[in-house]
Chains A and B, each alone.
Chain A
Amino acid sequence: MSETLHAVSVEVNGRPRSARVPARLSLVDWLREDLFLTGTHVGCEHGICGACSVMLDGQPVRACLMYVVQAHGHRVTTVEGLAKPDGSMSVLQDSFCETHGLQCGYCTPGMLIATQALLNSNPDPTEAQIRDAIGGNLCRCTGYQQIVEAVQLAAERMAKEAK
């Protein structure tokens, strides 16, 4: 049986993308399997781990709990969209490397999305605010401390750059 396909247009990392997709296709599966944007990870597939976080119109959401058809007409930013236009790492990504904010890297795309969204709305977050922002993202390796340090370092650097 062939499934009904629905036409969707979604802006992904600044590029308009159009596709015909079944209603049941999750946003994260589409990003990974059709657009080959495999930076976004899939962990639990039921909303617990945060590995699949992407920004929807600038706000972090779980891509495993959305269907592609629901993103029609919206803007999606994945971890690939965080790098600078020339492909080099963003300030936040560099800071994660330097403070050892990652080990196996499974949670990292979700962490980057969650913390970049935080910095976009609050360039000088307190430690409590950083911890709150990553509260929905599980990491099995780092113990979170280095991730918090990465965000603090990035905030400092971004403040210097802005001067």
Chain B
Amino acid sequence: MLATHGESAKLLAGGQSLVPMMAMRLVRPGWLVDINEIAVLKFVAVEKDVARTGACTRQCVVERDEALAARVPLLRQALKWVGHIQTRNRGTVGGSLAHADPCAELPLVAQVLGARMLLRSAKGARTLEAEKFFSGPMATSARPDECLEEIHWPAWSWRRTGSAFTEISVRHGDFAMVSAAAQVAIDGDGRCVRAAFGVGGAGGTPLAFPKIAARLVGTRLDDAAVSDAAHAAAAETQPGSDLHASAEYRRHLAGVLAARALREARERARSL
């Protein structure tokens, strides 16, 4: 269908973004291809270094999966902020990533963890890193004839790994004004062995800061180091202004929230 109809055909997953956009006549697809009854697109598989989710797995299923929460805790932490129970009962993981709202929570998790997207079309399959997948506001590098099939979420193996997600929005359940996600691993002495963090809503795509995070390795993640990293990251952001928040305010939030997420992640890691 996608190969035949090209741009005029759209995949329909949970419909929680696409149907509102159709209702507002922002998109008018000629064809909708419903992927909700395709069983192979719905699964959660937790493996040694990676957790795989089918693209059409509902957000509520991912949120409740205990094995997944144990290995990739950021997913459950982020999903608490995604819409409401009713929207998570229909909305899918792949739909959220493909929709690529720069303020959405799951795309930020994908960016911070370096998730990989498995895309398939009639011509074959390919894998894209999150960094290459998100190409701009509401835009991905998936071609119109490609279906996101699976997402591979890296699972860190350090025992003392902690993560956290936080955001500021107008009301709980709304898209974030700015959000932040962090994951850190520490050794027995409390020294950081790996760190990753990023912010959403402060640019055209969710942003991760691997170079700045690398500077945290070897530190004890004390508040000063965390705050330096968060502010260095905020300085790199180029947020836009809108009715809800000015660019300056968003940049300020990016720094504050990134620091908060890093501290919370550190506390979780220390408690293990």
A residues less than 8 Å from B89 (CB atoms): 56, 59-61
The chain A residue with its CB closest to the CB of B24 is A46
Are A70 and B34 in contact (CB-based, < 8 A)? Answer: yes
**A62–B88 alpha-carbon span in the complex (Å):** 10
Q: A46-B23, A47-B20 are in contact. Are A23 and B87 (CB under 8 A)?
A: no
Are B86 and A62 in contact (CB-based, < 8 A)? Answer: yes
**A65–B34 alpha-carbon span in the complex (Å):** 13
Which A34-78 residues have C-beta < 8 A from chain B?
Answer: 45-48, 50, 53, 56, 59-62, 64-67, 69-70
Size bin of chain A's contact surface: 20 to 34
Q: Which of B15, B36, B85, B173 contacts A114 (CB 8 A)?
A: B85
Are B86 and A60 in contact (CB-based, < 8 A)? Answer: yes
Q: Is B128 an interface residue (CB 8 A)?
A: no
Q: Is B84 an interface residue (CB 8 A)?
A: yes
Nearest-Cβ distance from residue B12 to partner chain A, whole angstroms: 8
**A65–B91 alpha-carbon span in the complex (Å):** 10
B residues less than 8 Å from A70 (CB atoms): 15, 34, 36
A residues less than 8 Å from B90 (CB atoms): 56, 61-62, 65-66
Are B84 and A65 in contact (CB-based, < 8 A)? Answer: no
Q: A56-B89, A62-B90, A65-B90 are in contact. Are A23 and B32 (CB under 8 A)?
A: yes
Q: Is A105 an interface residue (CB 8 A)?
A: no
A residues at B contact (CB < 8 Å): 23, 45-48, 50, 53, 56, 59-62, 64-67, 69-70, 114, 117, 132-133, 135-136
Between-chain CB contacts (< 8 Å), 24 pairs:
A46-B24, A50-B86, A53-B86, A56-B90, A59-B60, A60-B85, A60-B89, A61-B86, A61-B90, A62-B87, A65-B19, A65-B20, A66-B19, A67-B34, A70-B34, A114-B85, A114-B86, A117-B85, A132-B85, A133-B85, A135-B85, A136-B85, A136-B86, A136-B87
Q: A46-B23, A133-B85 are in contact. List 10 more A-B contacts (CB 8 A).
A: A59-B60, A60-B89, A61-B89, A62-B16, A64-B23, A65-B16, A66-B19, A117-B85, A135-B85, A135-B172
The 5 closest A-B pairs by CB, nearest first: A136-B84, A46-B20, A46-B23, A65-B19, A59-B89
